[in-house]
Amino acid sequence: MLVPIQITPKAEAEIKHIMANKNIPENYFLRVGVKGGGCGGMSYALGFDKSKPEDQEFEIAGIPVLIEKRHFMFLMGMQIDFFEGDEARGFTFVNPDLPKRHDL
């Protein structure tokens, strides 16, 4: 099965840290999605959730991942990264085909 997104090693480590230390239930997945966006276009979303009938399940970098089927076309080829700077830290969605970064 084609995996629509990639998770960088930095993002993988942070997601696994969150799962282990924030009492995320074992039957929850990392949900990756998009939200409609008005003038700014789409925004990207990450969270933890149970599987629903409209979801496709994946295992990416050892992380159980959910993507709602209707979000595939917006996420295909995206890479989830994690950055830590002097004043900010967080997850970033990067489309390798575009030079722009989409921060959460």
84: in domain: yes
- Give the CATH number, domain containing residue 86: 2.60.300.12
> How many structural domains does the chain have?
1
Q: Dihedral sign for Cα 45, 99, 5, 41, please.
A: positive
26: in domain: no
Could you list the residue range(s) of the whole structural domain that residue 50 is in?
Answer: 5-21+31-103
Taking the CB of residue 66, how many other CB atoms lie within 10 A of it?
22
89: in domain: yes
CA neighbor of 7 nearest in space, from 101, 100, 92: 92
pLDDT by 10s per residue, the chain, length 104: 678 899 999 999 999 999 999 999 989 999 999 987 666 677 899 999 999 999 999 999 999 999 999 998 889 999 999 999 888 899 999 887 765 555 55
